[in-house]
Amino acid sequence: MIADTSIKELENSSVALTVTVGSEAIEKDYQDALNKYASTIQVKGFRKGKAPVSVLEGKFGKAIREESSFNTIEEALKEAIEKIDEKYKPLSFSVPVLQDEEDLLPFEANKDITFTVHYDVMPTFELSQYTGLELSIPKVAVDDAAVDAEIQQLLEQNAMVIDKDGEAAMGDIATVDYVELDEEGGEVAGTERKEFTFTLGSGTNFYQFDEDMVAMKVGQEKLITKSYGEDSTVEGYAGKTITLRVKLLSLRFRDVPQLDDEFAQDVKDEYKTVADLMTATREKLQKALDEQLEAVKFDALSEKLIADNPIALPQSMIDFEAEQSWKRYLRQLGLTEDQVLQFMNFQGKDRDEMLDPMKKQADKSLRIQLIMDKVKDAEKFEIDEAEVLKVLDEQAQGVSDEEQLALYRTMIEDDMRFAKVGPFLLENNTFKEGDEVSYAAFMDGSYNA
């Protein structure tokens, strides 16, 4: 069927595949199509399936030729893709797009057809140095402040909430009714809140009247005048002065336990003293730090490898990965796409705005995955045969087809080798300590700001 093929590499790992189909194959397919229609179509003046082919061709020949020629093009494309070099085969999610379709029409009898399709292929690149690199990471240690903060959080978690008599103070838990008043003292519609509970000093009430409640007593009602500066974060109230009526319904406080041996024993039986609790807390924080340091090391190494290995990622690959992330996001929320999009519309956002950061992350993830895959192939890591058989037995239960089992085994071995790449890279590159960063800033990532 195919008379000739050629491949031209384009930008971003795309190619142009040009195929020429001989006129003999085209005419055969056209005649087959005519005969098929002749046996099924009804032409006025003839019984169904009895119209001569010449009559059918006179009436519908152009349409039938166009249909059969496009079918021939589709079959020729499949044949061409099967025969070309593996590196030029299209990605599974990249559909070949026919170029300049209008220039092919009208199809003429006894003439070759030459057509071109564009599609994306797997990116190719030369792997740069990936061992013996030196990278900088923050210098960080589990300091006393981090241990104290963790202990304090533990104390807060074990605090009891108790009703309070007397005056309100910062840190107390207050339940209030409040409403905004207009200049005549009337209630402003839509501003009333009943039995609203918040912690004084948290700033979680809309009007930010925490400080104005200090010294109030349960049952007391108070008129509060609030003036908001031009830079106020209270939406819609910058530069305004208003009056609120606030009634304190109840007051509670958190009774935080004392840090003593008894508290340590309550936390865990094996802790006998405060010193035991402090030691265990420091060890816990150190473990978390070690894990975070490994992640930071790998991220720093990834950035270096990505910079040193330019890869022309096709857009279809990025889009596909981002769509997979979007679907995982929807599954995590437990909502349909329509539900999420409706909520986003309320916020003035659209689907593209949500996908944009996912595409950026997909771009980075795909690059490091491709690099790591190259490292895996270059290093040819050994894997444990017994472990392969164990995983194969777990994942291929009930599979008896030898060809399918061999495919499972290949996939398992590949996954095991890929899993060795990360630890290998961390072990074979050097990470020197740079600027000193506090434990808290390092763990919450704020040191990057």
Structural domain includes residue 56: yes
What gap in Å lies between CA 289 and CA 253, rounded to an integer? Answer: 34
Report the distance separating Cα 178 and Cα 316, nearest Å: 55
The tally of domains found in the chain comes to 3
**Judgement on whether residues 330 and 425 belong to the same structural domain of the protein:** yes
CATH number at residue 217: 3.10.50.40
Q: pLDDT tens digits, the chain, 449 residues: what are they?
A: 788 999 999 999 999 999 999 999 999 999 999 888 888 777 776 767 667 777 778 888 899 999 999 999 999 999 999 999 999 999 998 999 999 999 999 999 999 999 999 999 999 999 999 999 999 999 999 999 999 999 999 999 999 999 999 999 999 999 999 999 999 999 999 999 999 999 999 988 999 999 999 999 999 999 999 999 999 988 889 999 999 999 999 999 999 999 999 999 999 999 999 999 999 999 999 999 999 999 999 999 999 999 999 999 999 999 999 999 999 999 999 999 999 998 888 888 889 998 999 999 999 999 999 999 999 999 999 999 999 999 998 888 877 788 888 898 999 999 999 999 999 999 999 999 999 999 999 999 887 74
pLDDT, tens only, 299-329: 999 999 999 999 999 999 999 999 999 999 9
Using omega within 30 degrees of 0 as the cis cutoff, is the peptide bond preceding 106 cis?
yes
Q: How far is Cα 68 from Cα 283, in angstroms, rounded to an integer?
A: 74
Residues 296 and 438 in one domain: yes
Same domain, 308 and 192: no
For residue 91, the 8-state DSSP code is: P
Contact yes or no for 213/172 (Cβ under 8 A): no
Q: Would you give the DSSP letter of residue 87?
A: G
Cα separation of the two ends of the chain: 62
Q: Which domain holds residue 186?
A: 160-255
Contact residues for 409 (Cβ-Cβ < 8 A; gap 6+):
388, 392
| Final residue before a domain boundary, out of 223, 255, 287 | 255
Contact 421, 371 (CB under 8 A): no
**At CA 125, angle to CA 122 and CA 126, rounded to 5?**
150
Write the DSSP assignment of 365-383 as a string of letters: HHHHHHHHHHHHHHHT---
**Domain termination site, one of 222, 255, 288:** 255
| Entry pTM | 0.74
Residue 264 lies in a domain: no
